[in-house]
């Protein structure tokens, strides 16, 4: 009986096109070895460089809770005091079979930390600006935040406006239409989210990731780097072979 050949590769990484490239193999659906016409094809998948994403907005709008919901899939009521300075987390997402790594920075909303936040704008590729739908002042202040973003961030930064705490319908003071109108005025993406229920939280970050990938002209959605005939034609074997 013919048996499927096994190939064990060490974690090989290469520099290619300014990014970090990882060599993987595909075997059936769960392993990574591509076998076609008695030959093995090593597929090199390119990892996107770290995509810097920043959460900004007034203190108390739910930035940290939104990040925890996205990262851990849970809401911890009353457990967060105001963020002091900057915190961050990394999250790997799959966008059309391409893995991208978001490095998400959670910033302090208080005025005394604003200069610290400004320092991170320049390297940001995406900014999520939050307001609280139960707070008129947090919504009104988004214009000041947008002014700062346009002053300190890159011209091509992806901006998303998020109306958070959408689960608090009875306390709502900002209509959805107001958020949509402001987003159209500034030409930014808009969603309403709930860090408590998880509504649109994953969608918000995935939308940002998709937009960053779409804008990238260097990385294809599907891997296009193939090394053919890396191995000898497959022969009958009862064991596995490996690279030393």
| Domain-embedded: residue 244 | no
How many domains does the chain divide into? 2
Tens of pLDDT, residue by residue over 124-140, are 999 999 999 999 999 99
Give yes or no: residues 71 and 144 share one domain: yes
Check if the beta carbon of residue 134 is closer than 8 Å to that of residue 115.
Answer: no
Output 24 or 180, whichever has higher pLDDT. 180
Check if the beta carbon of residue 87 is closer than 8 Å to that of residue 113.
Answer: no
pLDDT at 60 over 70: yes
Give yes or no: residues 60 and 98 share one domain: yes
Q: Percentage of the chain surpassing pLDDT 70?
A: 61
CATH code of the domain containing 56 = 3.40.50.300
Tens of pLDDT, residue by residue over 199-228, are 999 999 999 999 998 888 454 444 444 444
Pick the closest to residue 133 from 202, 179, 98 (CA basis).
Answer: 179
Residues 6+ apart with CB under 8 A from 147: none
Domain that holds residue 29: 7-48+219-235
Give yes or no: residues 125 and 207 share one domain: yes
Give yes or no: residues 75 and 13 share one domain: no
Tens of pLDDT, residue by residue over 86-96, are 678 999 999 88
Helices and strands of the chain, counted as H and E runs: 6, 13
| Domain-embedded: residue 187 | yes
Give yes or no: residues 75 and 161 share one domain: yes
Rounded to two decimals, the pTM is 0.68
| Domain-embedded: residue 11 | yes
pLDDT at 244 over 70: no
Tens of pLDDT, residue by residue over 20-42, are 334 333 333 344 434 443 333 33
Q: How far is CA 207 from the centre of its chain?
A: 8
d(CA 59, CA 145): 12
């Amino acid at each position: 009986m013919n048996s499927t050949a096994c190939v064990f590769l060490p974690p090989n990484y290469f520099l290619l096109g300014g990014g970090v490239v990882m060599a993987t193999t595909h075997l059936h659906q769960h392993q990574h070895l591509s076998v076609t016409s008695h030959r093995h094809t090593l597929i090199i998948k390119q990892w996107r460089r770290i995509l810097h994403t920043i959460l900004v907005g007034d203190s108390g709008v739910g930035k940290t809770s939104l990040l925890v919901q996205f990262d851990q899939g849970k809401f911890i009521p009353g457990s967060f005091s105001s963020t002091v300075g900057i915190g961050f987390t990394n999250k790997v997402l799959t966008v059309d079979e391409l893995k991208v790594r978001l490095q998400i920075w959670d910033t302090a909303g208080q005025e005394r930390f604003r200069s610290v936040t400004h320092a991170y704008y320049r390297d940001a590729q995406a900014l999520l600006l939050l307001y609280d739908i139960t707070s008129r002042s947090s919504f009104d202040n988004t214009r000041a935040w947008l002014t700062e973003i346009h002053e300190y961030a890159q011209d091509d930064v992806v901006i998303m406006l998020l109306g958070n705490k959408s689960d608090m319908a009875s306390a709502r003071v900002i209509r959805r239409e107001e958020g949509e109108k402001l987003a159209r005025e500034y030409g930014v993406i808009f969603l309403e989210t709930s860090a408590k229920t998880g509504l649109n939280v994953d969608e918000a970050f995935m939308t940002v990731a998709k937009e960053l990938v779409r804008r990238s002209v260097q990385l294809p959605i599907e891997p296009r780097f193939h090394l053919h005939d890396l191995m000898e034609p497959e022969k009958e074997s009862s064991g596995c072979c490996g690279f030393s």
